[in-house]
Structure 1
Amino acid sequence: MRHFRPTISFRQEPSGDPVYCKVDGERFNKPKTIKLMTESSYRIDITLKPPMTLEEASFHGQNLELVQKFGDSNACVHSSNFNTNGLKPSKKKERETMVLSLKIKEVGLLQMETQMKLYSASSTQHCQWGTMLHGIEMECESSPESDYVKIIKEIYR
């Protein structure tokens, strides 16, 4: 078994403002919901500890063009932009499942489901209410017998 710790973070672009989340309890599939605005651009940062080669990434079906921002013997950070152009605001009392897929060389495919609420671009007040999301840390393991990565734990910081 190979254990590693990816962290995923989101920032609004071009401002660099934070993204917020809220606790939904047991009403939906996941206890926390990340808030995004439609017709907006976001930066996704992917940190891998220990450093690994990230071959491909996609979020909600959009291929992410990765740029390595940092790398040393402890970690590496890749960044990409994601936009919500063309996505519709979530209906009241509904959530969207958006999947982040990471193909990691010699490790396998990591698929993380995120629970999102999409707000109209004019609803900035709703998007900025809640807890500031610094990142989602995961504990993962991969096995030579499988091409898929198992997420053991997710921690919202």
Structure 2
Amino acid sequence: MDHRRATIAGSRVEGSKHFRLCLSFTRVSNGKPEDGLRFSFPETIKFGIDEPYQVFLTFEPAVRIVTMSVHNDLIDFRRLGTKVDPNLATYCGVWEPRGFPVTSCHHREQLKFVVGLDDGAVFITSLQCKFYAKEETSHCAWGETMHAIHFQCVTLPDKSVVIVKQELM
């Protein structure tokens, strides 16, 4: 991680570590990214219930992770090859939204996404989602495609992670 002085809310924090995290979901069945830009809240991600999704995390600089969970479901993950760029660490796991009810019109659900880093820090964010029946494909295809969410983060000396900037790609 980049060891710099962080500036958060106007104050500098010695001993902070900066990293970038890219998060994306793709359907296992067809490898397509999920729609995320159609609604008034740009972070809405549409999921088919009982449809498996690959979860990709890429850290720059490379960061080792020890746990990954979506909505309190621990995700088995693996690190992908490091030959492309040793300064990056990419992880992949599969998550299947099971047991969720179909989200009603004009409503969104919040999913907690948590990643435990090997230095004891924990990245936590909430993802705004909408769930559709697995066989419902027309609504899931509406809107612009969300390829990834990029986070610029700072790990503070107390191991808390602060998201400095978040943007959809």
Q: Tell me, yes or no, whether TM beats 0.5.
A: yes
SS of the residue corresponding to residue 70 of structure 1 reads coil
Q: Identify which of 33, 49, 54 aligns with 1:18.
A: 33
SS of the residue corresponding to residue 138 of structure 2 reads helix
Q: Which residue of 2 aligns with 1:116?
A: 129
Runs of 4+ in structure 1 displaced over 2 angstroms?
A: 22-25, 70-73
Q: Which residue of 2 aligns with 1:153?
A: 165
* CA distance in structure 1 between the aligned counterparts of 2:19 and 2:92, rounded to whole angstroms: 19
Q: Contact 1:107–1:142 (CA<8 Å) still a contact in 2?
A: no
Q: Identify which of 24, 33, 44 aligns with 2:44.
A: 33
* CA distance in structure 1 between the aligned counterparts of 2:27 and 2:39, rounded to whole angstroms: 22
Change in Cα spacing, 1:59 to 1:74, as seen in structure 2 (3 Å) is same
Q: Contact 1:43–1:79 (CA<8 Å) still a contact in 2?
A: yes
Change in Cα spacing, 1:156 to 1:116, as seen in structure 2 (3 Å) is same
* CA distance in structure 2 between the aligned counterparts of 1:50 and 1:107, rounded to whole angstroms: 17
Q: Contact 1:138–1:152 (CA<8 Å) still a contact in 2?
A: yes
Unaligned runs of 5+ in 2: 1-15
Q: Contact 2:37–2:146 (CA<8 Å) still a contact in 1?
A: no
Q: Which residue of 2 aligns with 1:104?
A: 117
Identical positions, percent: 24
**Structure-to-structure mapping, 1:1-157, within 5 angstroms:** 1-25=16-40, 30-71=41-82, 72-106=85-119, 108-144=121-157, 146-157=158-169
- TM-score normalised by the chain length of structure 1: 0.91
Quote the RMSD (CA, aligned, Å): 1.3
Aligned AA for 1:154? Q
Change in Cα spacing, 1:139 to 1:100, as seen in structure 2 (3 Å) is same
Q: CA deviation at 1:93?
A: 1.1
For 1:10-47, what per-residue CA distance to the aligned partner results, in whole angstroms no more than 9, with x for missing partners? 0001321221113433xxxx543111111211000000
* CA distance in structure 2 between the aligned counterparts of 1:74 and 1:89, rounded to whole angstroms: 40
Aligned AA for 2:56? D
